[in-house]
Amino acid sequence: MDILKNPHRGAGLDCPELDDMPWPSIDAEKPTALVARCPRAGATPLVESADLARQAGIGALLIKDERDRMGLGSFKALGAAYVIACDAEAGRARGQSYVTASAGNHGLSVAAGAAAFGARAIIYLAETVPEAFADRLRREGAEVVRAGATYEASMEAAQQAAEDNGWQLLSDSSWAGYTARPHRLMEGYLVLMQEVIGAMDAPTHIFLQAGVGGLAVACAALARAAWGDAPQIVVVEPEAAPALIASIRAGRPVETQGPVSAMGRLDCKTPSLIALKGLARDADWFMTISEAEGEAGNAACAAAGLETTPSGAAGLSGLLAASSAFGLDATSRALVILSEGPEG
């Protein structure tokens, strides 16, 4: 486990790579209104677990349960499908081909959005992504292409395919020259945090799992807008993919190296630049968890009747692994997000 107090909190990173990056959106009204028109729409539950709170040594634990979001089993349903819905509202979705790489549920969101609005979805998967997930994508109507040994390699292949074929690239990450669609995609994630804010008072601590960082930055930005400095915000990554903590420590975006993580949805070695910019301003702490710590959190969720995956439980895993850090005690009231169901 590695823990870093954010030296850039409040000001953000001063580096040229982020100068042209937009700040994350805090306009939750537009995505909330648009998502509400979806036949599968509905707020996900915010549940309290006394057992898990006791294990963490805190007074209360609130869990935003995204396992059945819009029937897709993940918060990602709010992202790419929202972008495609915006395109449809502008008359640009029908007949369009959307291509992306996915380490997990982002691909399902692209597939579902494309199917809903008369578009085509082409999803590139790395060799490490299980074939069972590829089958889930196909059942949602997507075309699946295998490319590369890592998520980053499959993303390069998706980018090339977009350029070669005139397809729309719809990534959940952002980089120099590619910001508009991921910025809107992250805006979709505000819906879940808006639901949380409407259902509870400010927690003392928020633990947010991160891959490229889209979910974490959206939740952190809206939490700051609603609750100011009241919560301590902690970003949790796998030790195998420490892209955000390494970038914060270096003071600039860095590409990291590491083995394949069982927290596969979070196994991203390069940060989204929009996410890095926002989290450098809004997060108080960054931490990594080991594979064993990730599995321990997942097992704790299962024992509490909240079956998920090591990726889905990673925020809770961070809380359990670092229960003596961040000023946590019996008066603390923490929030975590259970980001996906057990199928991943």
With cut-offs at 50, 70 and 90, classify the pLDDT of residue 80: confident
Q: Is the pLDDT of residue 20 over 90?
A: yes
Q: 1-37 in b/e burial notation, b at 16+ Cβ within 10 A? A: eeebebebbeebbebebbeebeebbbebebbbebbee
Q: Where are the alpha helices (DSSP H) in 176-213?
A: 180-199
- Give SS3 for 289: strand
Mean of per-residue pLDDT scores for the chain: 93
* Structure confidence by residue, pLDDT tens digits, 83-126: 999 999 999 999 999 999 987 788 888 998 898 899 999 999 99
What's the confidence (pLDDT) of residue 35? 82
Residue 229 in tokens: 């400095």
Q: Is the pLDDT of residue 160 over 70?
A: yes
pTM, rounded to two decimals: 0.92
What's the confidence (pLDDT) of residue 344? 59
CA-wise closest residue to 100 among 124, 80, 117, 136: 124
Q: Are 261 and 344 in contact (CB under 8 A)?
A: no
What's the confidence (pLDDT) of residue 159? 94
What's the confidence (pLDDT) of residue 16? 96
Q: Are 245 and 286 in contact (CB under 8 A)?
A: yes
Residue keyed to tokens 């997060």: 283
What's the confidence (pLDDT) of residue 76? 78
* DSSP string for residues in 290-344: -HHHHHHHHHHHHHTT----TTTTHHHHHHHHTTTSTT--TT-EEEEEE-B-TT-
* Structure confidence by residue, pLDDT tens digits, 182-215: 999 999 999 999 999 999 999 999 999 999 999 9
Q: Are 198 and 89 in contact (CB under 8 A)?
A: no
Q: If you count them, how many residues does the chain have?
A: 344
Q: Are 338 and 66 in contact (CB under 8 A)?
A: yes
What's the confidence (pLDDT) of residue 48? 97
Strands (E), the chain: 2-5, 46-48, 60-65, 97-101, 120-125, 143-146, 168-169, 205-209, 232-238, 285-289, 333-338
Residue 283 in tokens: 């997060």
Q: Are 184 and 86 in contact (CB under 8 A)?
A: yes
Residue 125 in tokens: 């998967």
CA-wise closest residue to 248 among 217, 279, 226, 292: 279
Lowest mean pLDDT segment, chosen from 9-23, 49-63, 148-162, 293-307: 148-162
Q: How far apart are the first and last CA of the chain?
A: 24
For the chain, give the percent of residues with pLDDT over 70.
99
